[in-house]
Structure 1
Amino acid sequence: MRFYVDFDDCLCETAKAFTEIATRFFGKNVPYEEVRFFNLQESFDLTDEEYEQLMSEGHRPEVLLSYKETPGASKVLNELIDKGHEVFIITGRPSNSFEASRRWLDEHGLERATLYCLNKYGRDFFYKKGEFNLELEDYYKMSFDYAIEDSPMAFKFFDHLPDLKVMVIDRPWNREHELPGSNYTRCSGWEQIKEKIMLDSHIM
């Protein structure tokens, strides 16, 4: 089996860290449970300049390395890898953040997972010359059996895989979003993801 796994807010608690940055930099005190939009500029009511500052700060290597792991993520993924399954971390972070992202994975026991930076959202403006090591045309040639995502904006990247089973990690910004089809399942966390995979295919 081949697994697509998003990085931010699937493997690590990125949005929680961004709420702290928004408070520290701009006095925007928005509790995590009130982050209603995947677009953080909208959630924190930021100007374009403030949003650029927020994204730049949140993607500094030392800040990326400080993000806390989503409970159970590395444990479940390592169990899959131990069973011979392939895990691909496909993040919307520009490749400028690849080294720090790769180090984070390694430090959290996920050195066997493959990492790609894919231009999912076209928001690399804050890097000025952002690049990606996986182009969309190449991504669309890849196939997966399962996907773990949190962003409704990413669902369109699964349209070419009608048999894909998508596990949507429950987050404040996706709770009001209707899931696109019966192959999508909302999960409270990694333990439920594991249970769903076991129930579907008995591979763990």
Structure 2
Amino acid sequence: MIGFQPKTIYVDVDDVVSRTTETYPDVVAQEFGKTVSLEDLTGFDLKLCFQLTDNEFQYFFDLVHQSDFLLGFDPVEGAVETLKAWADRGHIIDIVTGRPTSAQDATLAWLKKNGVPFRGFIMVDKYNRPGNDMSLAISKEELSMMDYDLAVEDSPDMALFLARDMGVSTALIHKPWNRKCTIHDNLIRCISWNEIYPMVKELALEEYE
């Protein structure tokens, strides 16, 4: 294709490609007898949202990052289809996750199981989690040296980092925990992948304006 320039796209995993957090209220209800709805998760601090003690949260965190649990998630509607369409058109997709490095094998297995196309798989220490193997993950500073044309995120802090600090056009998938995300010119709030899909085409059109 004459003049075609592939776009490089950053795609987060949890709640962007994988239906992750929506499974958590059932886990907390079963394990701790607490009733908390998905809409109640208005912040990114799950320990606070679920009102868990330090020990309870550690147990919960370890439980939801077990391989069998991670492999059981369903894909987000429209995510795999959109990524396949982009990949078929020659665009470059990097899966960029802030999951703990212990989840690497299970995450790769989930991506393969669900047919998610990608060029690179990058683990980033997005949240300064203790215990991460930094031979497997990169820092946010290292991430900031990479070039992306578009990013898809649900974390308000990471979306703002991408939009403001890295200058990346960022699609923020609307979730209860990012309602208060700071507004930025590079940040576009999207309800679903139906709204995200045409963003790559719009980026390509900008080259000819």
TM-score, normalised on structure 2? 0.88
Give the partner amino acid of 1:168: L
Q: String of CA shifts for 1:11-60, please: whole Å, max 9, x gaps.
A: 11111111111111111211112211111111101111111111100000
Unaligned runs of 5+ in 1: none
1:197 is aligned to 200
1:176 is aligned to 180
CA contact (8 A) 2:160 2:187 kept: no
Task: Give the C-alpha shift of residue 106 in structure 1.
Answer: 0.6
Looking at structure 1, the residues matched to 92 and 203 of structure 2 have their Cα atoms a distance apart, in angstroms, of 17
Q: 1:31 and 1:197, CA in 2 relative to 1: closer, same or farther beyond 3 A?
A: same
Task: Give the C-alpha shift of residue 71 in structure 1.
Answer: 0.3
Task: Give the C-alpha shift of residue 131 in structure 1.
Answer: 1.2
Larger gyration radius, structure 1 or structure 2: 2
Looking at structure 2, the residues matched to 2 and 199 of structure 1 have their Cα atoms a distance apart, in angstroms, of 14
Looking at structure 1, the residues matched to 201 and 34 of structure 2 have their Cα atoms a distance apart, in angstroms, of 42
2:94 is aligned to 88
Q: 1:152 and 1:60, CA in 2 relative to 1: closer, same or farther beyond 3 A?
A: same
Counterpart of 1:173 in 2: which secondary structure?
helix
Q: How does 1:106-121 map to 2 (within 5 A)?
A: 106-121=112-127
1:36 lines up with 2:42 in the alignment: yes
**Which of 5, 12, 15 does residue 11 from structure 2 map onto?**
5
Counterpart of 1:78 in 2: which secondary structure?
helix
1:68 lines up with 2:85 in the alignment: no
1:131 lines up with 2:168 in the alignment: no
Counterpart of 1:102 in 2: which secondary structure?
helix
Looking at structure 2, the residues matched to 67 and 113 of structure 1 have their Cα atoms a distance apart, in angstroms, of 22
Looking at structure 1, the residues matched to 160 and 99 of structure 2 have their Cα atoms a distance apart, in angstroms, of 18
**Which of 31, 51, 57 does residue 45 from structure 1 map onto?**
51
CA contact (8 A) 2:125 2:138 kept: yes
1:147 is aligned to 151
Task: Give the C-alpha shift of residue 86 in structure 1.
Answer: 0.8
Q: 1:157 and 1:134, CA in 2 relative to 1: closer, same or farther beyond 3 A?
A: farther
Q: String of CA shifts for 1:171-193, please: whole Å, max 9, x gaps.
A: 011113232x1111000011110
2:4 is aligned to none
Task: Give the C-alpha shift of residue 130 in structure 1.
Answer: 2.6
Percent of paired sites with the same residue: 29
Moved over 3 A (4+): none
1:187 lines up with 2:190 in the alignment: yes
Looking at structure 2, the residues matched to 169 and 15 of structure 1 have their Cα atoms a distance apart, in angstroms, of 13
1:56 is aligned to 62
Task: Give the C-alpha shift of residue 140 in structure 1.
Answer: 2.4
RMSD: 1.7
Q: Aligned pairs, how many?
A: 197
Looking at structure 1, the residues matched to 150 and 203 of structure 2 have their Cα atoms a distance apart, in angstroms, of 11
Unaligned runs of 5+ in 2: 1-6
